[in-house]
Structure 1
Amino acid sequence: MREFTAIIVTALALLATPAFAQKAPLDPAVDKAVRSMLDSMNYRKVINDSFAQIQGSLPQMFLQGALSEINSDQRLTPAQKKAAIAKVEKQAPAATQQLRALFEDPTLAEDMIEEMVPLYGSRFTVAEIEQIAAFYGTPVGTKMLAVLPQLTIEAMQLGQRVMLPRIAKIIKANTAIN
């Protein structure tokens, strides 16, 4: 389950969700520029498209993460693993539905934007924000926005493929019962 949670957190991080952004008073000109930039990026659509693509992978991600967690737990006997797998397979549809509901929450995109404004505003000047917005108005910027949801999914898959075996090795080395 921890791996599945890590996958979801990674997905959100890859979408540049600033979960820990500090909210300091923001210059109204910067606030306005960032909101304009996010509108020019059609950011609400990018977020919603990314979430739609993630939703397609949810059942597989949930099962893969849970099965990996169960199978790597050396404290479990083969019978316990079999029982745990059966339980996860039974719970998977409900858990997947809960995750879908999370991603379909109509307030989620707006909440993310509210967090993005101070994040961008703390790192870019109004002039820089305007340049970023101009880029997204170009054909290359438009293409970038169009392929970003699929790039996000593929980047998550690459991250899983590269990182999970390494993380599992460290976890195994540090939790092995001697």
Structure 2
Amino acid sequence: MMKKLTAIMCTALALLATPAFAQKAPIDPAADKAVRALLDSMNYRKLIKDSFAQMRATMPQMILGNATAVINANPRLTAAQKKTAIAAAEKKVPEVAARVQRVLEDPALAEEMIEEVVPLYASRFTVAEIEQIAAFHRSPVGAKMLSVMPQIMNESMLIGQKVINPRMVKIMQEAVPAGK
């Protein structure tokens, strides 16, 4: 049961947090330079750090919430079995959250993300568009948007969890039938 619970928690977390990665292709040097300037105008490294801090603050409750929902939605478990499984999940959450926190605290993570994000922006915007976006981010409204973005992202993730969780529970129940 613990192995299944750990697998379910990790899978749910991965599904909620997995970004779409840009394919590596040669980038026009002007576009590369413009995107990096855009990311600097966005204070992207700080944005990443602040977003991770917001995630860390809610990570244990997100993990436990997902695990609890899966357990409670399992019609094959008795009330006592659900209580036991939730207690086991509660004990496992700090370990899982600590592991996630160590990943988020890796100093190289932001730089790796930037290397993946540069081609993403370069493939969707022209150099002129990137420069216009950077100018917006340097404006007062753009700066405000950037300052509140970590909270908006965090709250959006919680909303997404609330909306998606019932669907995920059903999928997980079908994928991991009780008693196996």
**TM-score normalised by length of structure 2:** 0.84
Identical counterparts, % of pairs: 57
- Return 5+ residue gaps in structure 1 as ranges: 14-18
Residues 1-10 or 151-160, more deviating: 1-10
RMSD: 2.4
Q: CA deviation at 1:137?
A: 0.4
Residues 103-112 or 156-165, more deviating: 156-165
Alignment of 1:1-178 (within 5 A): 2=8, 5-7=11-13, 9-11=15-17, 13=19, 19-168=20-169
* Distance in 2, Cα, partners of 1:30 & 1:46: 21
* Distance in 2, Cα, partners of 1:98 & 1:80: 27
1:52 partner amino acid: A
* Distance in 2, Cα, partners of 1:85 & 1:68: 9
* Distance in 2, Cα, partners of 1:109 & 1:88: 30
Q: CA deviation at 1:169?
A: 5.3
- Would you say the 8 A contact 1:4–1:65 is kept in 2? no
Residues 85-94 or 119-128, more deviating: 85-94
2:16 partner amino acid: T
Q: CA deviation at 1:108?
A: 1.0
1:72 partner amino acid: A
- Return 5+ residue gaps in structure 2 as ranges: 1-6
Q: Secondary structure at the match of 1:20?
A: coil
Q: What are the Cα deviations for residues 106-128 of structure 1, in whole angstroms up to 9, with x where unaligned?
A: 11111111000000000111101
Q: Secondary structure at the match of 2:76?
A: coil
- Would you say the 8 A contact 1:74–1:176 is kept in 2? no
Q: CA deviation at 1:166?
A: 4.3
Q: CA deviation at 1:6?
A: 3.6
Equivalence for 2:3: none
- Would you say the 8 A contact 1:11–1:152 is kept in 2? no
* Distance in 1, Cα, partners of 2:147 & 2:172: 37
- Count matched residues: 172
2:40 partner amino acid: D
Residues 154-163 or 60-69, more deviating: 154-163
1:163 partner amino acid: I
